[in-house]
């Protein structure tokens, strides 16, 4: 009897499991060609040359197979889909959307926030569902390694709202264009479309004296035809040794010096300091609940085609080579086949159509993909 029940339970889960795996995308050239046309229309993709179209189709076909394999491997617990990155090879995705992989800096002890965890934390918490609104809409960085500026600004938007101010979109482009900060000791630098670090960006904003509104200094670096709809020259202080060679083509009239206007800085919004948070994920949760959404970084190589589920790649995820910065907004537990999976909820900057309306969940508790290694927040001047 016991055996029979066991068998039934096993069968039951096998059936459910099979039903959770998304139907594979058709892999034959013919069917994939039809799918490619539909996908191009859906994502308004236009290629200027037929050679490029041919190349993109090859990538698409190879990604279809890759995604089908990922879905099979993850047994429906995490799913992957054809999204806006479906015509990019994983290598191209890494080179244009992600930042070059870097080890996270360790900050001096006095920069760490003192976090006390006394009360037991709730089983779940989500800043996007609180009555106090501290998370702005999901943005799209396009094809530029500017995630670090989006992560920084998203944290500051939250800190501003935590002070009781109206939730407001702040200028990411100002930080991309103007911040060439570096830390000689850690050999880290902010490099515009070639990556950067939130802890340095807070320091730029502190020195600059403020931030413009998104609507006054709007994002243009990674959007529009191919490489961007604006071509800012490197930020003052851009360091070629740490950042690599800057883009070959740039326009002075679209650069920081020509665009930034301190008279438009949001009144009273001043960064006074910044803090790091320990790698202990219980302390990170406690800090986030009391402080507001936090800037975090991770290895996002395997996130390219993520759709839903608790992200925990089997391979290809480093805890020490980070290439993406995002915003931690919550945590919870998902139960899959009676197994409890603790996760973090994270706001991404790849548009609202990506993942779960622009968000993803990632395994919580074991430093998955380095998510706990570069947790920081700006400290705003008290108004
Ligand atoms: C760039 O960074 C390197 C490495 O930290 C440093 O040696 C060099 O002086 C910097 N260059 C400039 C122009 O600041
Ligand atoms: C900057 O100059 C270029 C070339 O003269 C022009 O095409 C572009 O529209 C200008 N951009 C802005 C923001 O004025
Ligand atoms: C993490 O922090 C909590 C609360 O401060 C503490 O109880 C726990 O022992 C820490 N875990 C580790 C692995 O240090």
Measured distance CA(191)–CA(197) in Å, rounded:
9
Give pLDDT tens digits for 43-67.
999 998 999 999 999 999 999 999 9
Q: Flag whether 90 is in a domain.
A: no
pLDDT value at position 14?
56
Least confident of 23-32, 198-207, 271-280: 23-32
Same domain, 51 and 159: no
Same domain, 144 and 184: yes
Give pLDDT tens digits for 313-329.
988 899 999 999 999 99
Confidence band for 19, pLDDT divided at 50, 70 and 90: low
Q: Flag whether 229 is in a domain.
A: yes
What's the rounded mean pLDDT across residues 69-89?
95
What's the rounded mean pLDDT across residues 340-365?
98
**Can you give the pTM of this predicted structure?**
0.94
Domain-ending residue, one of 83, 117, 151: 83
Q: How far is CA 252 from CA 259, 309, 315, in A?
A: 10, 44, 43
Measured distance CA(92)–CA(94) in Å, rounded:
5
323 Cα to the center of ligand 3, angstroms: 27
| Cβ(291)–Cβ(114) below 8 Å | no
| Cβ(168)–Cβ(213) below 8 Å | yes
What's the rounded mean pLDDT across residues 220-247?
86
Q: What are phi and psi of 190, to 5 degrees?
A: -95, 130
What's the rounded mean pLDDT across residues 84-98?
94
Domain-ending residue, one of 26, 56, 83: 83
Judged against a pLDDT cut of 90, whether residue 3 lies above it is answered with no
Q: Flag whether 89 is in a domain.
A: no
Q: Flag whether 91 is in a domain.
A: no
Burial-class residue 349 by CB neighbours within 10 Å (0-12, 13-18, 19+). buried
Measured from the Cα of 258, ligand 2's closest atom is 13
Confidence band for 15, pLDDT divided at 50, 70 and 90: low
Q: Across 106-146, where does the E strand assignment appear?
A: 125-126
pLDDT value at position 242?
95
112 Cα to the center of ligand 3, angstroms: 15
Q: Flag whether 88 is in a domain.
A: no
Same domain, 66 and 21: yes
Mean predicted lDDT score pLDDT of the chain: 93
Task: Give the domain extent around 282.
Answer: 96-380
Measured distance CA(378)–CA(208) in Å, rounded:
14
Same domain, 143 and 174: yes
pLDDT value at position 185?
87
Domain-ending residue, one of 83, 104, 126: 83
How many domains does one find in the chain? 2
Measured distance CA(323)–CA(194) in Å, rounded:
11
| Residue 367: strand, helix, or coil | coil
Alpha helices in the chain (DSSP H): 2-20, 29-42, 50-73, 90-96, 147-162, 172-178, 198-208, 240-243, 256-259, 281-291
Same domain, 119 and 211: yes
User: Ligand 3, from 114, 116, 282: best to mutate by most atoms within 8 Å of Cβ?
Assistant: 282
* CATH code of the domain containing 163: 3.90.70.10
């Amino acid at each position: 009897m016991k055996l029979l029940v066991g068998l039934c339970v096993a069968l039951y889960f096998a059936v459910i499991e099979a039903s959770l795996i998304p139907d594979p995308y058709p892999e034959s050239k013919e069917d994939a060609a039809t799918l490619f046309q539909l996908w191009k229309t859906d994502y308004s993709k236009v290629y200027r040359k037929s050679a490029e179209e041919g190349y993109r189709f090859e990538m698409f076909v190879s990604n279809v197979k890759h995604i089908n394999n990922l879905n099979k491997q993850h047994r429906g617990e995490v799913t992957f889909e054809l999204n806006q990155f479906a015509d990019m090879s994983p290598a191209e995705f890494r080179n244009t959307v992600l930042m070059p992989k870097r080890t996270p800096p360790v900050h001096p002890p006095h920069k760490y926030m003192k976090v006390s965890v006394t009360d037991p934390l709730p089983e779940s918490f989500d800043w996007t569902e609180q009555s106090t609104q501290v998370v702005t809409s999901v943005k799209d960085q396009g094809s530029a390694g500017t995630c670090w500026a989006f992560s920084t600004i998203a944290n500051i938007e939250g800190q501003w709202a935590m002070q009781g101010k109206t939730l407001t979109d702040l200028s990411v482009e100002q930080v991309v264009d103007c911040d060439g900060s570096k830390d000689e000791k850690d050999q880290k630098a902010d490099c515009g479309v070639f990556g950067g670090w939130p802890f340095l960006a807070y320091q730029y904003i502190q020195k600059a004296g403020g931030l413009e509104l998104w609507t006054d200094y709007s994002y243009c670096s990674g959007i529009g035809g191919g490489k961007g709809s604006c071509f800012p020259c490197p930020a003052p202080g851009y360091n070629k040794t740490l950042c690599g060679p800057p883009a070959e083509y740039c326009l002075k009239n679209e650069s920081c010096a020509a665009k930034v206007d301190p008279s438009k800085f949001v009144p009273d919004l001043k960064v006074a300091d910044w803090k790091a948070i320990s790698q202990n994920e219980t302390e990170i949760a406690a800090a986030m609940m009391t402080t507001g959404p936090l800037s975090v970084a991770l290895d996002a190589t395997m996130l390219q085609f993520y759709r839903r589920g608790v992200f925990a790649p089997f391979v290809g995820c480093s805890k020490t080579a980070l290439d993406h910065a995002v915003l931690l907004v919550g945590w919870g537990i998902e139960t899959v086949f009676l197994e409890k999976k603790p996760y973090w909820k994270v706001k991404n900057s790849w548009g609202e159509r990506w993942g779960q309306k622009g968000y993803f969940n990632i395994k919580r508790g074991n430093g998955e993909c380095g998510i706990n290694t570069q947790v920081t927040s700006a400290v705003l001047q008290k108004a």
